Amino acid sequence: MAEITSIREIDISSVLEELKIIRYHDGNYIIVCDETILIELAKKSGGKKGGIEVNPDKLLWVPYKLKYD
């Protein structure tokens, strides 16, 4: 996921842990998400379809480059 999105692994794991989608146990991450959590997250995100409406033509993603990379 980190390679596809250019988001750091620690950032991804931190957010997923905070959302109670994964847990860290004995040196491994475990997916613990069930459908009720996903439905709740979709409702909280807003929008007509359970998410934020975005115009894809207006999106421009440029990975952040640290000076010391």
The reply to whether 17 falls in a domain is yes
Q: What is the mean pLDDT of each run of 10 residues along the chain (69 residues)?
A: 88 89 87 84 68 82 75
Residue 17 lies in domain: 2-58
The reply to whether 67 falls in a domain is no
Cβ-contact 12, 22 below 8 angstroms? no
Question: In this predicted structure, what is the pLDDT of residue 26?
Answer: 92
The reply to whether 65 falls in a domain is no
Residues 6+ apart with CB under 8 A from 50: 42, 43
Instruction: Calculate the dihedral angle through the C-alpha atoms of 33, 42, 17, 59, rounding to the nearest 10 degrees.
Output: 130
Instruction: Count how many domains the chain has.
Output: 1
Question: In this predicted structure, what is the pLDDT of residue 64?
Answer: 78
How far is residue 29's CA from residue 46's CA, in Å, rounded to a whole number?
28
